């Protein structure tokens, strides 16, 4: 099974190629190509996972090309961490393929959509299987390409175009960090291999300054991909893509790649306290920052997007706070419940054809399956006990506390409160109350869409039991088989932590209930009492505007300056030389005035001048 794991990404690639060939087909049966091939990947992934669970692993590599004495290798590796990722990715991908069959019904470019999905899945699975940083980087970029193509799927919409471009460029900024970090590591270690990098780190071959620098550079890559502060702005905009895409890429898999990267390079980060701190702080701040924005958004997908950013912050916080297992645990559970939420949101949108929550309401009765499933997701993400989110979030809080990062701990708690609040704000506004928009013809989605949601719903409930203090820390044990030395082991923080976390989430839910369901509290009391703050939050802290005013305008300004420089200085100098020659030419032909005596005079003058020069410099008179 393990030997064949290289096939896992190839199935979706095949799907991509096949679907591009059948790109003009009008039949929606083409979707089955994608579904089937990702299904194969899923089966293989599960098989691989099972083998790894039993303690196996594999690493196969071959030379790709050589630079001098050094061989650049390519291959695949399966270890506990990436086997888990393989399953998550191929599972969500499979489910999304299935879901999309229903969701994309009637689209002109139906096969193309599935082709892109295939390309993305290929890249993501390839990324996960990479045994070295370079290969990871390559797939990392390809994943970005898949994301770009899918965000821009509705290419005729200017917003989609802008969002796709933004996503690509913003992540590219992060990628450059990864690029630099990777190359710096190469010159330190002489290889891109994880193993060799870790060995060097262990042996202390790399100076601590360089360790920190490379770790931070790599983390910049993660920031970009995972939408962390300050490169988070692309992710909410990426919601311009079709909703299944948001579920697959911008919730469950690609954005988690940043977290995966940090986890995969964890020994490097562990070696640098500074790097870990930076990871933790960025994660923590992002968590609460994004959550705050999520409080006031009106677009159902954007709320979920900010929620994703916030949850990714959580994961980063966990990793930064030495909660390796916690981070990955949350990555896993988040993949399920966030994918569920997105698919459910997609189902809602599919039904009401709008994304504005102000135009929804009272959908519970109409969407008898979607509603409950959404509720499961919301409960899970809010950290309500016994659902998956509760366990993973609890573990994160515990590690943060155990790591002594109390400030971040409390930030995380507040973020948890906010999460619960905005999720239930969303739930109540969408599903309860009176319909606020035209809801004629609203009906439940077809089974091809609901089935994946049900699967995810189940997983959102049970995934938490992978790692609990009650039944066993399966995940920790499993991950301990990997290259990472789990410094803190299991984080069993003080017993009050789960209580605080639960309280925070229940408080959030309760508050949302009071405001948006009961109406006992007016929703706009914050708006009224703190108009400035709420305005700032509503406008996403003006980050986009800030970037626009500084970086975008600055770059454009520089560019314009360059154009002027090119026109006036560069070309101007040339023009000056040209007009100089022309002027000389003019003088020359002026002198040629047609008077033969002038010619003679010039000749004599020329000779006399020569003679004078000889006389004066030749030394005759001295």
Partner 1 sequence: MSSVPLAAYLMLALILFCIGLFGALTKRNAVIVLISIELMLNAVNINLVAFAKYSINPGLTGQIFSLFTITVAAAEAAVGLAILIALYRNRQTVNVDEMDTMKR
Partner 2 sequence: MNTWLLSILILSPLLGVLVLLFTPSQDEKSIKWIGILGTLFPLGTALVTLSAFNKSGEGLQLAEKFQWVSYEVFQSNGDVSYPIFYEVGVNGLSMVLILLTTVVSVLAAIASYSIKKDWKSYFILFFLLEMGMIGVFASQNLFLFFIFFEITLIPMFFLIGRWGYLEKEKAAYSFLIYNGVGSAILLIAFVAMFMKTGTMNFEQLAYTFSLPQSELSDMNITKDFKMGMLIALLLAFAVKLPVAPLHSWMVKVHVQAPPPIVMLHSGILLKIGAYGLIVFGAGLFPDQFESLAFIIGLFGLINLLYGAFLALTQRDMKRVLAYSSVSHMGIVLIGLAALNEAGMTGAVFQVVSHGLISALLFFLVGVLYERGGSSQLKDFGGVAKRMPIFAGVLLAGGLASLGLPGMSGFISEFMAFLGLFETMPVLAAIGTLGLILTAVYVLRAVLAITFGTEKELSNAHDLSSTERIPAFILLAAILFIGIYPAWLSDMLRPTLDSILLGLGG
Partner 3 sequence: MDLDTLLSFRWSVMLPEFIILGVATLLSVIDLFMKKESSRKPLAWLAGAGILAALIAIFMQLDIEVTSILYDTYRLDSFSKAFKILLLLGTLLVIVLSSNYKKEDLEENRGEFYYLLLAALLGAMMMASSADLITLFVGLELLSLSSYVMAGLERRNKRSNESAFKYIVSGGIATAITLFGMSYIFGLTGETNLFKIAENMGNLELLEHSFLIVFAFIITFAGLTFKIAAAPLHMWAPDVYEGAPVPVTAFLSVVSKTAGFVILLRVIIICFIAAPGIDKEPILLQVQPYVMVLAAATMIIGNVTALRQRNIKRMFAYSSIAQAGYILVPFVSNSSLIFELIWFYLLAYLFMNIGAFTVIQLLTSQEGSNDIGVFRGLFRRSPWLAVPMTFFILSLAGIPITAGFIGKFGIFMGALGLEQPQYWLASVMMATTLVSYVYYFNIIAIMFFRDSDGTKVSIPGGMAAVLAFCAASVLILGVMPDLALDFFYGNFDVNEFFMQIETEVHTHDH
Q: Which does 581 bind (CB under 5 to 8 A by kind): partner 1, partner 2, partner 3, none?
A: partner 3
* Minimum distance from residue 240 beta carbon to partner 3 (Å): 50
Work out what residue 50 binds among partner 1, partner 2, partner 3, none; the CB cut-off runs from 5 to 8 Å by kind: none
Mark the segment that binds partner 1 (CB under 8 A) among 119-127, 447-455, 533-541, 592-600. Answer: 592-600
Given the rule CB under 8 A, which of 227-235, 333-341, 510-518, 584-592 is the region that contacts partner 1? 584-592
Distances, alpha carbon 114 to alpha carbons 40, 194, 485, in Å: 16, 33, 40
Question: What is the x/- site pattern for partner 1, positions 544-583, by CB under 8 A?
Answer: ----------------------------------------
Residue 351 · residue 430 · CB < 8 Å: no
Tell the smallest beta-carbon distance from residue 109 to partner 3 (Å).
Answer: 47
What is the enclosing helix (H) or strand (E) of 112? helix 110-129
Other Cβ atoms within 10 Å of 190 Cβ, number: 14
- 168 Cβ contact list (under 8 Å, min separation 6): 144, 145, 147, 148
Measured distance CA(524)–CA(515) in Å, rounded = 9
- Of 148 and 427, the one with the shorter C-beta distance to partner 2 is 148
**Residue 92 to residue 343: CA distance in whole angstroms:** 11
Query: Least distance (Å) from partner 2 to the CB of residue 250?
Result: 19
- Peptide linkage before 230 cis (omega within 30 of 0): yes
| Distance (Å, whole) CA 579 – CA 138 | 51
Q: How far is the CB of 72 from partner 2 (least distance, A)?
A: 9
Give the one residue of 472, 600, 606, 618 binding partner 1; rule: CB under 8 A: 600
CA distances from residue 367 to 102, 138, 445, 446, 522 in whole angstroms, order as listed: 16, 42, 8, 11, 27
Q: Which does 183 bind (CB under 5 to 8 A by kind): partner 2, partner 3, partner 1, none?
A: partner 2
Q: Min. distance of Cβ 495 from partner 2 in angstroms?
A: 48
CB of 579 to partner 1, least distance (A): 19
How far, in Å, CA of 577 to CA of 493, rounded?
77
- Return the number of the residue (68 or 619) whose C-beta is nearest partner 2: 68
Cβ-count burial 256-281 (b if 16+ within 10 Å, e if not)? bbbbbbbbbbbbbbbbbeebbebbbb
Binds 620, which of partner 1, partner 2, partner 3, none (CB < 5 to 8 A, cut-off by type)?
A: partner 3
Which one, 569 or 587, has the nearer CB to partner 1? 587
Query: Please, which of residues 585-614 interact with partner 3 by CB under 8 A?
Result: 585-586, 588-589, 591-592, 594, 596-600, 602-603, 605-607, 610-611, 613-614
520 or 597: CB nearest partner 1: 597
Partner interacting with residue 563 (select from partner 1, partner 2, partner 3, none; CB below 5-8 Å by kind) = partner 2
Q: Which of 496, 568, 601, 606 touches partner 1 (CB under 8 A)?
A: 601
DSSP 29-75: GGHHHHHHHHHHHHHHHHHHHHHHHTT--EEEEEEEEEETTEEEEEE
Which region, judged by CB under 8 A, interacts with partner 1, from 206-214, 344-352, 406-414, 591-599?
591-599
Type and span of the H or E element at 78: strand 70-78
Residue 606 binds which of partner 3, partner 2, partner 1, none (CB < 5-8 A, kind-dependent): partner 3
Nearer to partner 2, 202 or 560 (CB): 560
Report in angstroms how near the CB of residue 570 gets to partner 3 at its nearest. 19
- What is the C-alpha separation between 609 and 622, in angstroms, rounded? 18
- For the CB of residue 606, give the shortest distance to partner 1 in the complex, in Å: 13
Binding residues (CB under 8 A) for partner 2: these are: 23, 63-68, 134, 137-139, 141-142, 145, 152, 155-156, 158, 160-161, 164-165, 168-169, 172-173, 175-176, 179-180, 183-184, 186-187, 555-556, 558-560, 562-563, 566, 569-571, 573-574
Q: Smallest distance from the beta carbon of 611 to partner 3, in angstroms?
A: 6
By CB under 8 A, residue 579 contacts partner 3 = no
SS3 356: strand
Partner touching 66 among partner 1, partner 3, partner 2, none, CB below 5 to 8 Å by kind = partner 2
Nearest Cα residue to 453 out of 303, 332, 347? 347
The residues, ordered by sequence, that sit 6+ positions from 324 with a Cβ below 8 Å of its Cβ are 263, 266, 318, 479, 484, 486
Q: How far apart are CA 285 and CA 220, in angstroms?
A: 15
Q: Which of 202, 564, 592, 613 binds partner 1 (CB under 8 A)?
A: 592
Q: How far is the CB of 216 from partner 2 (least distance, A)?
A: 13
Cα→Cα distances 384→214, 278, 309, 474, 506, Å? 38, 29, 20, 21, 7
The secondary structure of residue 24, as a DSSP letter, is: T
8 A C-beta contact, residue 221 and residue 258: yes
227: left (phi over 0), alpha (psi -120 to 50) or beta: left
Query: Which positions lie near partner 1, rule CB under 8 A?
Result: 589-590, 592-597, 600-601, 604
């Amino acid at each position: 099974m393990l030997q064949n794991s290289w096939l896992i990404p190839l199935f979706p690639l095949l799907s991509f190629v096949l679907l591009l060939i059948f790109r003009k087909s009008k039949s929606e049966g083409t979707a089955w190509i994608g579904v089937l091939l990702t299904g194969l990947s899923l089966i293989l992934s599960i098989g691989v996972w099972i083998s790894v669970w039993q303690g196996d692993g594999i690493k196969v590599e071959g030379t790709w090309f050589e630079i001098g004495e050094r061989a650049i290798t390519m291959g695949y590796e399966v270890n506990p961490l990436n086997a888990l990722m393989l399953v998550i990715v191929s599972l969500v991908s499979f489910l999304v393929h299935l879901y999309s069959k229903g969701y994309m019904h009637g689209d002109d470019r139906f096969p193309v959509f599935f082709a892109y999905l295939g390309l993305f899945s290929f890249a993501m699975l390839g990324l996960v299987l990479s045994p070295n940083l370079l290969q990871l980087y390559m797939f990392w970029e390809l994943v970005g390409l898949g994301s770009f193509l899918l965000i821009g799927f509705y290419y005729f919409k200017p917003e989609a175009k802008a969002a796709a471009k933004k996503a690509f460029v913003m992540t590219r900024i992060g990628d450059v960090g990864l690029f630099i970090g990777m190359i710096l590591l190469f010159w330190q270690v002489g290889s891109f291999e994880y193993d060799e990098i870790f060995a060097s780190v262990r042996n202390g071959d790399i100076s601590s300054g360089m360790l920190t620098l490379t770790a931070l550079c790599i983390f910049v890559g993660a920031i970009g991909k995972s939408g962390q502060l300050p490169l988070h702005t692309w992710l909410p905009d990426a919601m311009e893509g079709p909703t299944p895409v948001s579920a697959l890429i911008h919730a469950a898999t690609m954005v988690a790649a940043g977290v995966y990267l940090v986890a995969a390079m964890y020994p490097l980060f562990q070696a640098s306290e500074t790097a870990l701190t930076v990871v933790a702080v960025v994660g923590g701040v992002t968590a609460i920052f994004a959550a705050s924005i999520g409080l006031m958004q009106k677009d159902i997908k954007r709320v979920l997007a900010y929620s994703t950013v916030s949850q990714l912050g959580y994961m980063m916080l966990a990793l930064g706070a030495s909660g390796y297992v916690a981070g990955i645990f949350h990555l896993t559970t988040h993949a399920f419940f966030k994918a569920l939420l997105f698919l459910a949101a997609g189902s809602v949108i599919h039904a009401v054809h709008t994304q504005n929550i102000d135009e929804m309401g009272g959908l519970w009765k109409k969407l008898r399956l979607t509603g409950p499933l959404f509720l499961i997701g919301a409960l899970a993400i809010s950290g309500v006990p016994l659902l998956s989110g509760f366990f993973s979030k609890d573990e994160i809080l515990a590690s943060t506390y155990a790591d002594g990062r109390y400030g971040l701990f409390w930030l995380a708690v507040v973020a948890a409160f906010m999460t619960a609040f905005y999720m239930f704000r969303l739930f109540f506004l969408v599903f309860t109350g009176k319909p606020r928009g035209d809801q004629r013809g609203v009906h439940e989605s077809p089974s091809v869409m609901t089935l994946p949601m049900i699967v995810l719903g189940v997983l959102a409930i049970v995934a938490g039991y992978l790692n609990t203090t009650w039944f066993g820390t399966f995940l920790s044990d499993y991950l301990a088989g990997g290259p990472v030395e789990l410094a803190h082991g299991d984080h069993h923080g003080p017993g009050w932590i789960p209580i605080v976390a639960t309280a925070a989430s229940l408080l959030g839910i309760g508050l949302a209930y009071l405001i948006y369901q009961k109406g006992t509290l007016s929703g706009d009391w914050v708006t009224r009492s703190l108009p400035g703050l709420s305005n700032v939050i509503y406008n996403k802290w003006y980050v986009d505007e800030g970037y626009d005013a500084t970086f975008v305008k600055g770059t454009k300004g520089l560019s314009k300056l360059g154009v002027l420089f090119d026109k006036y200085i560069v070309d101007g100098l040339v023009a000056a030389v040209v007009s100089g020659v022309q002027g000389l030419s003019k003088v020359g032909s002026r002198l040629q005035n047609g008077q033969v005596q002038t010619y003679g005079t010039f000749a004599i003058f020329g000779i006399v001048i020569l003679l004078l020069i000889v006389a004066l410099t030749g030394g005759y008179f001295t």
